[in-house]
A = this chain, B = another copy of it.
Amino acid sequence: NHEQQQRARAGRAETMSQPAVNGVSCVGKVLTLDNMNPNVRKVEYAVRGPIVQRAMQIERELKQGVKKPFTEVIKANIGDAHAMGQKPITFFRQVLALCSYPELLEDNNFPEDAKKRAQRILDSCGGHSIGAYSTSQGIECVRQDVARYIERRDGGIPSNPDNIYLSTGASDAIVTILKLLTCGEGHTRTGVMIPIPQYPLYSATVADQGAVQISYYLDEDRCWSLDVQELRRALDAAKQHCNPRVLCIINPGNPTGQVQSRQCIEDVIRFAKEEHLFLMADEVYQDNVYAEGSKFHSFKKVLFDMGPEYSSTVEMASFHSTSKCYMGECGFRGGYMEVINMDPEVKAQLTKLVSVRLCPPVPGQALLDLVVNPPQPDEPSYTSFMKERTDVLAALAEKARLTEEIFNTVPGITCNPVQGAMYTFPRITLPQKAIIKAKEGQEPDMFYCMRLLEEKGICLVPGSGFGQKEGTFHFRMTILPPTDKLKIVLERICEFHQWFTQEFS
């Protein structure tokens, strides 16, 4: 039925897009749903999908005075810290103000270390202005600071600033690497292994590039852990119809919140080497680790600890961002990647490719420099910086704990510990009647989330937007709201879940 409709549309489109004959203009649009880039049509990005459209509509209705069972919409669909009331780190914003308006360098209200940082950034900009283009790979002194940050993080394993590429958020760099790796047609088309559940940037980019998605499933029963046997299953099946070349890992996990063990990372690296896969390590939540016994291990550190057989061969890109961790500066679109063991000729192509877009936003580069080079113990801003940082991370740890605890009190909601990152991805049991009712038009978890939005004013993302094992249902919720508000959100969801279960029983 759906296919018939598609064919009917396509037929119509053919007629409509006939070129002009003898100067008589055509009917119909040049660009239609039927003749646009078919890969773009396949793109899906649930984090900002139809549920968010509806949430914004409800917000407008509230403004217009329409009566609802709530007074505001709480958008827990996205990891947007400042939007949830988190305050920016004072030191970072001081430096950014100084960079924006260098006349403030004369202002005695700004601390000396902030001025020093700002001056250093300005000195590395063309014409001493963050309004000049930087080199396409990013400002050299920022790349040097990133390399030193990585060296400190990884216990002294060397990092070369030439291998650092600054980017417009991590998304930009992830898309660029996937683009480099995509080639072939039909059975030789590049296959990209991505976790399920995944952050939908991956599935969207794979669709956009016309690459082949290879889904490997995380094990919900073992706290969303990754099992190499599952990687092998997925890979072997995929070899029948594509050319698997890339393995994407998200650690700490989004939307699943797990933190990978060192052993697991070793197994993954060994697998990547054996199977000749390019590793993409999405490590944007590297500072967001809360659970006791959990620790962030960078893929690079583990790779180098495994010895030269691995550290000199396995090709890898690791991604980081200014949008998450304790600073949550999403709007600045800052980020970087480090490429390891990349063929120098390919690196030259990468550098050429990024040059077409000129450069990442310079304010985001400046911010990134502060993240990787924060105030030091002997500097005036150190104490207040550390306090702000610690407060945010401690509150997040508390919220992670609360979330798991409260959700698990409700029959029909099962929630793994939020070991890291910024989200919970609980499993929900939906009554059969609701599943049947939803099937008329939408995924059952979308039906659930839409009802939650209408009844309680809480905006979540249905699990189907991230992928989930067939027959299971989930939602993603960020744990970012302030503790008091988070408690209300959690309670309202629990109430709703009980009501929903009754309503459709």
Contacts and interface: CB of A to CB of B under 8 A. Distances in A.
Interface residues of A, number: 105
A422 interface: no
Interface stretch (A64-72, A96-104, A455-463): A96-104
A131 interface: yes
Contacts of A200: 356
Contacts of A360: 333
Contact of A29 (B18, B26, B315, B352): B315
A467 to B, nearest CB: 16
A356 B127 contact: no
Given A101-B97, A131-B88, A346 B181 contact: no
Interface stretch (A31-39, A290-298, A469-477): A31-39
Contacts of A274: 20, 23, 25
A156 interface: no
Interface in A164-223: 168-169, 171-172, 175, 179-183, 200-201, 204-205, 208
Majority secondary structure of chain A interface residues (helix, strand, loop or mixed): loop
Interface stretch (A41-49, A300-308, A403-411): A41-49
Contact of A356 (B19, B43, B107): B43
A278 B97 contact: no
Given A276-B20, A276-B30, A127 B179 contact: no
Interface string A95-115: 011101100100101000000
A379 interface: no
The 4 closest A-B pairs by CB, nearest first: A83-B126, A331-B362, A97-B101, A82-B129
Given A168-B333, A331-B359, A361-B361, 7 more contacts: A30-B277, A31-B342, A32-B343, A37-B179, A37-B180, A49-B355, A208-B356
